[in-house]
């Protein structure tokens, strides 16, 4: 009886530890994601401010042709930023899928061990 109780205690401890690890990992990922998003937002804001300044400066002296060229450049830059964000999201999804597959395989291994 005492052996059985001890084993169940070990199992509980292991589960608790793995749960903690998982939650820590999640928290860390969330924190990193938030930090990255904040940085990107700041960068975008700065860029926009710079563009606005430039535009206002040009508006005072330059013709419409130059403004149109700048607008085209802005659109291209925005498209590039969107593509980069999509790639990052795709990578995150792939990582998540890999994590899930790893978890499933570990589960299968555990089941096999229990059966044998």
Q: Over the stretch 96-112, which tens digit does the pLDDT of each residue have?
A: 888 888 888 888 888 88
The answer as to whether 32 is a domain residue is: yes
Q: How many domains does the chain have?
A: 1
Between 115 and 20, name the one with better pLDDT. Answer: 20
Confidence of residue 67 (pLDDT cuts 50, 70, 90): confident
Mean of per-residue pLDDT scores for the chain:
86
Q: How far apart are CA 91 and CA 96, in angstroms?
A: 9
Cα–Cα distances in angstroms (integers) from residue 16 to residues 19, 41, 42, 110, in the given order: 5, 37, 39, 17
Residue 73 counted as domain residue: no
pLDDT in tens, 13-23: 999 999 999 99
Structural domain for 57, as ranges: 2-64
For residue 72, being part of any structural domain is answered with no
Query: Confidence band (pLDDT; 50, 70, 90) for 114?
Result: confident
Any domain includes 6: yes
Listed in sequence order, the DSSP H helices in 1-116 are 2-61, 64-115
Calpha distance 27→16 (Å, rounded) = 16
Q: Is residue 34 part of a domain?
A: yes
| pLDDT of amino acid 18 | 95
Asked if residue 111 is part of any domain, the answer here is no
């Amino acid at each position: 009886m005492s052996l059985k109780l001890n084993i169940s205690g070990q199992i509980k401890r292991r589960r608790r530890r793995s749960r903690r690890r998982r939650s820590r990992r999640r928290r860390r990922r969330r924190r990193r994601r938030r930090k990255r998003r904040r940085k990107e937002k700041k960068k975008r804001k700065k860029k926009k401010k710079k563009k606005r300044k430039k535009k206002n400066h040009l508006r005072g002296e330059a013709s419409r042709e130059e403004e149109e060229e700048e607008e085209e450049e802005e659109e291209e830059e925005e498209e590039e930023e969107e593509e980069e964000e999509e790639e990052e999201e795709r990578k995150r999804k792939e990582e998540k899928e890999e994590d899930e597959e790893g978890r499933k395989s570990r589960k299968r291994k555990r089941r096999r061990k229990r059966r044998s």
